[in-house]
Amino acid sequence: MPLTEDIGLVGYSADIPFNRLFLGVDNLRYDVYISPRFLKIASEFIFQLVLKHAGASEALQTRQKINWFQEIDLFKSACTEVMTDAINQAKARSEVQIDYLVQAALVKKLISEVGQQYETAISHFKSVIRKHEVDRRTETHLQLREEVFNIIQKRSRIIQNAGTELFDYFLAERRSLNELRALNFGQDALLADELFSNPLLHAGSRADDFFMMTRYVLLGYRLEDPLNYNTLIEIFRNLFSGARIEADRIIKNLKNMERLFNVFETRNKLQKEKQNRKTDKKRILKLRARAGLQGKMLMRVYRQMRQENLLNCIVAAYRVPAVIQDYCPPLSPQELLQFVVAPKARKNIIRKIKRFKKYTGRKISVFRLKKTRRLARVSRRQKKILLLRFLADFATYHRDLDNYYLFNETSDCINLVEDEKTIKLSRANNTLYEFMCAREQSAGKKPVIHHVVIKADVRGSTEIIDRMKAKGLNPASNFALNFFDPINKLLPRYGAQKIFIEGDAVILAIFEHQKEPEKWYGVARACGLCVQMIMGVKRYNEKNIKNGLPGLDVGIGISFSKGAPTFFYDEDSRIMISHSINEADRLSKCDRALRRNIKNNHQPFNVYLYRLDDSALESGKLPLNNPVLRYNVMGIELAPKAFAKLCREIHMKKFRGPVPSLAIETFTGYTGKFPTPAGNFQRLVIREAQIPEVSPSDFQVIRMTGKKYYEVCTHQAIYEHVKHL
């Protein structure tokens, strides 16, 4: 029988994807840091909910008067603030999965917190009992012991009820934000509500009988259970095996159960339409055809269940709860259901009741118990109505069970970080997802989105140290006062940080953070800083010449990368890893062969790149992976990607022509101004040049390669020339 024609079946699917997010420090899970304020409010609120659902007496309470309206409002407000923060982050980064992550993380935390606060409550109860023991209040002590014993016996029920009430408030706030989510990400991007309103989240996949009766229907997993879940799911899968949609997906969509089997509702609609004179005849024919198909489908399931001896079990499962309080205990709901539908089990169940009477003295009428067998004796129409109800309840449980496993898998992928070491490490590597309340957001450091690396290759420091020692001078204080200290003073002026400094190496970095566009001048400020560093080294060298000491030779490279670098910690020392460090290091170097052959003679440019011709490569005079020779003496080379970023940061005006004051025939450059953190403006001039291919013997130009390189100019005459353009 075709199952999809004229019915409109839709397969059910649910997912909580994180595949576009960054894994945390363990490379397995996503690191999430939830607002400390939210956690404090939630834990205190849950503790009071546990006391409430435990029915704790006044002696076991911690607060005698609780304004529940105020407590609920405080909790709901905290939920809204944290989820709103996540929505804003998701919008700013164009990544809706950030919103998914906070929802799943909050649910995970709240579920675990209910169990934890129950244990906290039990510890509190025991401390109260010990206090009464010390005070020798015997009667009160015994009463409290019995009360706490009963609370421990009801552990599962208390946790379920407290969790259910807690999630009523949480889910109300979650739904209130769905409009905001839809405006930002679209209606289709919303996660299904049942993923988080799933009752099994508070009870586990093998929920107890009382929970199953209340939320679904009395299903079981043991072979002797009359309504065995595994048996039933195979029956339904076989029933829908011929459908165009996968059977499990059909079952999990509750609307399919209505469309396929609810002939009673369709007949009612048909009756109303017949009474309405304005009704289109086509609609009546359509309803009649649907009712006919639904009647056949329901009858098909009815016969299948009767053939499997399950029909009476289904009917009894809805009748048994009416008498459950009379027989449970000593019986479990499943045993009561067995007594009604399984004659072979009745003798053992009656023996159990008699043993219960012998040990407790409580009388339970076996005669009344035998009358419960009549519960399954109902009319055929009533059986169909109950069967329809069962189909909906079973489908709901099947869907919730699959979603329960889905959420557990998702939950296992979330690392709720709390220890400072992990927080620090994950935050430094930009893998920590932080969700805060409104008053905490300003305190959190925004993630790095770009970073610029400056490498200064310092040459000549060893000769200076030897000369100073020979003269009895202190080289350490000399370098500190005249080289390192001036650089350190420059850093805050340009928003830079010191990554690594030694006598022959200086590595600095400038980070751009999310939501701080007023500071997105990383490359421009790096160029400005490097110009000042070169000026500082020149001043230092002038002092050295006066004192009969050699000067320093510096070559600087500037590199840019999108995203954040990687950090790890050696004790308290932070170590940064980035491809930009390697690139900046390469840009700052100077080839010895070029240094011997090129005499700068105070020319305005300090960076030159050459490519040896193919014959030099073939002869093995140069490694094949490094065909370019670099000259960088007191110069600043800017990586091409860094130059492209600079052009996005500020308006760079291109110019080309001679520089008469310096006897330069052709000069191609770019110029523009950038704001320093202090609010001042500084001009930059960038030289653009092509890399020539040269002969290795005399460095004569053979041809131009077409590849470009960029130098940050430092010669004052260049800036004077640009000023007059």
pLDDT tens-digit map of 201-215: 998 888 888 899 889
Mean of the per-residue pLDDT values for the chain? 87
- Residue count of the chain: 725
Long-range CB contacts (within 8 A, 24+) of 355-358:
356/329, 356/330
**Interval 148-168: pLDDT, tens:** 899 998 998 999 999 999 999
Q: Which domains does the chain have, with CATH numbers?
A: 208-412 (no CATH), 446-723 (3.30.70.1230)
Q: How far, in Å, are 31, 91, 338, 376, 510 from residue 175 at the CA level?
A: 25, 18, 41, 41, 41
Determine the average pLDDT of the residues in 266-286. 83
Residue of 160, 218, 217, 240 whose CA lies nearest to 396: 217
CB 587 within 8 A of CB 527: no
Helices in 246-362 by DSSP H: which ranges? Answer: 247-252, 254-261, 263-275, 281-307, 311-319, 324-327, 333-341, 346-360
Q: What is the pLDDT of residues 30-44, one digit of tens each?
A: 999 999 999 999 999
pLDDT interval class at 625 (50, 70, 90): low
pLDDT of residue 332: 84
3-state secondary structure of 225: coil
The CA distance from 574 to 391, in Å, is 60
Q: Report whether 459 contacts 552 (CB < 8 A).
A: yes
Q: Which of 91-95, 508-512, 596-600 has the highest mean pLDDT?
A: 508-512
Residue found by looking up tokens 């159960």 in the block? 257
Confidence of residue 524 (pLDDT cuts 50, 70, 90): very high
Query: Does 522 or 619 have the greater pLDDT score?
Result: 522
CB atoms within 10 A of CB 570: 7
Q: pLDDT band for 2, please (50, 70, 90 cuts).
A: very low
90-130, pLDDT tens digit by residue? 887 889 999 999 999 999 999 999 999 999 999 998 888 88
Residue pointed to by tokens 């840019």: 560
Predicted local distance difference test score (pLDDT) of residue 619? 56
Residue 406 pLDDT greater than 80, yes or no: yes
Mean pLDDT of 611-620: 67
Residues 539-554, mean pLDDT to the nearest whole number: 87
Reply yes or no on whether the pLDDT at 4 is more than 50: no
Q: Is the pLDDT of residue 557 over 80?
A: yes
Q: Point out the least confidently predicted range of 127-136, 356-365, 541-550.
A: 356-365
Q: Tell me the per-residue pLDDT of 230-266, one tens digit each, with 9 for 90 and over.
A: 999 999 998 888 777 888 899 999 999 988 898 998 8
CA–CA separation, 628 and 690 (whole Å):
12
- Amino acid identity of residue 224, one-letter, is E
Among 345-349, 572-576, 653-657, 661-665, the range scoring the smallest mean pLDDT is: 572-576
Question: Per-residue confidence at 662, pLDDT binned at 50, 70, 90?
Answer: confident
- N-terminal to C-terminal alpha carbon distance within the chain: 85
H-type helices in 547-589, by residue range?
579-588
- Better pLDDT: 571 or 156: 156
Query: In percent, how much of the chain has pLDDT > 90?
Result: 46
Number of H-type helices and E-type strands within the chain: 28, 16
Identity at 502, one-letter amino acid code = E
Winning range, highest mean pLDDT, from 104-108, 441-445, 610-614: 104-108
